[in-house]
Structure 1
């Protein structure tokens, strides 16, 4: 009876979150409303004569009304330029060509399944978690493929299949910002970090790999955390599985010999691309090094062209797999897959249009600078760990209501990047804190488009399961990942380690 009351309380809380989240406007509408708020606020604060002294330049910055004749004309004349000149827009779309082809051709799906199936039995659980975390580089493939695949493997191993579905869902989403391979998530957040940093210092050089050292180091740690929760909590809690609760007979998807052979060709082609990149980078006079200084990081073709390099790295195995597996039989199939991968970026492009206008208005009105200066002044006496924990918790809370990572960061970046820069924190630091907060509540957020898919998988094995079942089993992972990852980030900050290439924790 007591357990039932606890479950009812949890269900009521989760239902409240779901209701509130469902009433939240579409991100596009949110940006349109924010544009209206910025225009109105610029007018009001301009009338009040609000100003601040920018500590970076010692200049007095006055809020400027956007409702003046010159600014209204500027809104009309520069709207398209604001959009097309938006930093990293081309980078994101280009990278998506490679990742999209690898996903549409079937390479990611068959490759993920093949790796898990071939893992030694005593390492299967570890491999499922690792593939899940690394699988977030594959976009939508991992949270769609891993839950049903892991459920079937768990069942065959004598474990509860729902435990497999949960861990297959948690690994790619809870560890969304962790990976050993740079991917689309790096490009998406960078798209909004770069213009936000320019509000304070347009000359500051940032790069898409600004968090790579930390996220790569985080990957094995998060794998261990997820494995520990699985063994200590999820498996004992779910206990043995009663097949009578199964709604339908579930069998593993079988792939043809041609598809499995095609994966090997795809993997070898990926290794070949990696080898070519190493040959162009390692030699002292390598093509991808800075031709004057020999640096791999500072103003080198490797860093400046990382977008097209990432595209090629995913594009080649996707194309090779498609040809060998028969999913790409002609130029029409090839073009269709590239087009379909771009279709999935439609919402991102729409968001960028309105976000670019919002950031431009923020910049023209000087509201961003004044808000950053005043906010930094309020936070200047707060210690680093307090700022880290507070910002991570804020992001994690917002994530329960807005599922899109790029939408949230488009709203938060213009506020917190400048604010933290004035407190001497590098944009890479603020971006990483955001990515941690954005990841840890992903498995709990009803706004995740994969949640209904997970529920469908779980109900195959227990028709009585609901959203509360998913939340109750995913919560320990989110809590553990949140605590360990935050502590790791604080330790990283206290030691003062760089977060990525040319990306220290502090500006000075």
Structure 2
């Protein structure tokens, strides 16, 4: 398997530079929009109405005008651009003061080495509580952590990425994604049964067990497949830019770190006041007639800024106590260096932003998803075969439409009513969708954070490219797919509830149930 994965990596790394690759993808979208121009599908909207969506050529007069006028907006509007730069501003200063390095060294001392990998994967799964922050916080920290242990840093990067992205739907707590998907599922279910109710906890039991599953499988894949494939690592592969000195922290460094952590704890406590009361600045007022509204939505929207502050302030305290920061000019210089190191990513973001915008504006994503749904409906499966077919379609659709909520917004009105008529409950359909969407998250080219993950990898291996990343992540995708599918099938065969009050089968369609 290692030889096979290395061959994939070699082939993938022969592909053009990631920036050039995204240029070619954008051009491919333009070409596809010409070839499939005019192909239309009917999409059911949230209000129950039907809207016709058709592929629009980007090489028409209107298309060319749109591409030229929207280029800057596509760049600025590229979803990860702002969050990545904001978070990396805080992390960059923390790296340059040595705050992160000393923290990781002390972590290595406190956590048994046998649990480092599983802890990293589990932290990645749980990071979905903080929206997308795990991509820009945990993924680079995973690489730094493994490098400090003398292990291949790309294995640490892969383990964190697998937890953050592959386990995005799983968690021990309710995240912002749960009410978002539940509202769409509930609305789609009303097409068949206006009295049916889907809540934010409808998949809770299943997702808690899925958290354990992803952690165990992700740890096994990291240690048994990915690390042997990557082999030994030398700092020379990073061009001498990475400090892997794992010397014992001095008493002065330990004291400075503890004071900095205490500062961070006080700061975190102060931030909790932003959501502690009904009228708090980052808390949404939710009435009794709005059960699906996430009252912490404003908090999650501000999470990147809060994380930046939580890194920046303790890092400055640490730098002052260790004399690495003598005045405000030192902080400004560190912040400038941090942003300068993101130059490659900013260039990638411009091109990737055009590619994603072209794909959405041309309606290629919506048409592809609806055509796939129609194909599945024509197969006329029932029961577990139907569910597995839908899981495959969800996984494939994730390769064309990245956003889980946006994809479910136009898939739910099609699949939920159809499967209710075949005897499957809306909660079961939603859980299956979440599994399919998760297992290909780590290999889809439409992952918005893919460019920054490649940049993180190249920090430790100058030769790393798209092929290296795909080869490292493909085993996770396959293993998650097999294990999660078996869990779903076993859950159905045992008749276990997916969540509080959730059913596996839709009883009103018992005559059509498997």
TM-score, with normalisation over the residues of structure 1?
0.61
Contact 2:146 2:156 in 1 (8 A): yes
Contact 1:101 1:341 in 2 (8 A): yes
1:142 is the counterpart of 2:142 = yes
Contact 2:121 2:218 in 1 (8 A): no
- Gaps of at least 5 residues in structure 2 are 125-133, 189-202, 229-243, 417-428, 445-453, 462-470, 501-514
- Superposed CA RMSD in Å reads 5.3
> Which of 42, 49, 61 lines up with 1:53 in the alignment?
42
1:478/1:77 CA distance change after superposition, 3 Å:
closer
Deviation at 1:224, TM superposition (A): 5.0
Hey, what does 2:240 align to over in structure 1?
none
1:270 is the counterpart of 2:261 = no
1:126 is the counterpart of 2:115 = yes
Deviation at 1:264, TM superposition (A): 0.9
> Which of 10, 15, 25 lines up with 1:19 in the alignment?
10
1:431/1:268 CA distance change after superposition, 3 Å:
farther
> Which of 342, 353, 378 lines up with 1:345 in the alignment?
342
Using the alignment, how far apart are the partners of 2:413 and 2:120 within structure 1? 39
Using the alignment, how far apart are the partners of 1:259 and 1:71 within structure 2? 58
1:112-137 alpha-carbon deviations (Å, 9 max, x no partner):
22022134xxx553356425753873
1:286 is the counterpart of 2:274 = no
Hey, what does 1:332 align to over in structure 2?
329
1:379/1:306 CA distance change after superposition, 3 Å:
farther
1:36 is the counterpart of 2:17 = no
Deviation at 1:374, TM superposition (A): 1.2
1:354/1:318 CA distance change after superposition, 3 Å:
same
Using the alignment, how far apart are the partners of 1:37 and 1:230 within structure 2? 34
TM-score, with normalisation over the residues of structure 2?
0.61
Contact 1:109 1:141 in 2 (8 A): no
Mean Cα displacement is larger for which, 484-493 or 317-326? Answer: 484-493
Hey, what does 2:192 align to over in structure 1?
none
- Secondary structure in 2 matching 1:61: strand
Deviation at 1:72, TM superposition (A): 1.7
1:89/1:118 CA distance change after superposition, 3 Å:
closer
Contact 1:116 1:124 in 2 (8 A): yes
1:258 is the counterpart of 2:252 = yes
1:315 is the counterpart of 2:312 = yes
Counterparts of residues 313-462 of structure 1 (less than 5 Å): 313-380=310-377, 383-388=386-391, 420-421=411-412, 423=414, 433-438=436-441
Using the alignment, how far apart are the partners of 1:420 and 1:323 within structure 2? 53
Using the alignment, how far apart are the partners of 1:106 and 1:432 within structure 2? 39
Using the alignment, how far apart are the partners of 1:264 and 1:87 within structure 2? 35
1:69/1:113 CA distance change after superposition, 3 Å:
same
1:149/1:362 CA distance change after superposition, 3 Å:
closer
1:224/1:88 CA distance change after superposition, 3 Å:
closer
Contact 2:205 2:499 in 1 (8 A): no
1:387/1:272 CA distance change after superposition, 3 Å:
farther
- Gaps of at least 5 residues in structure 1 are 1-9, 152-161, 202-210, 238-249, 396-407, 442-446, 455-470, 499-508
Deviation at 1:338, TM superposition (A): 2.0
1:99 is the counterpart of 2:91 = yes
- Secondary structure in 2 matching 1:280: coil
Using the alignment, how far apart are the partners of 2:56 and 2:441 within structure 1? 33
Give aligned pairs, total.
406
- Secondary structure in 1 matching 2:42: strand
- Secondary structure in 1 matching 2:52: strand
Deviation at 1:356, TM superposition (A): 2.8
Hey, what does 1:109 align to over in structure 2?
101
Using the alignment, how far apart are the partners of 1:435 and 1:24 within structure 2? 26
Deviation at 1:143, TM superposition (A): 1.7
Using the alignment, how far apart are the partners of 1:166 and 1:78 within structure 2? 36
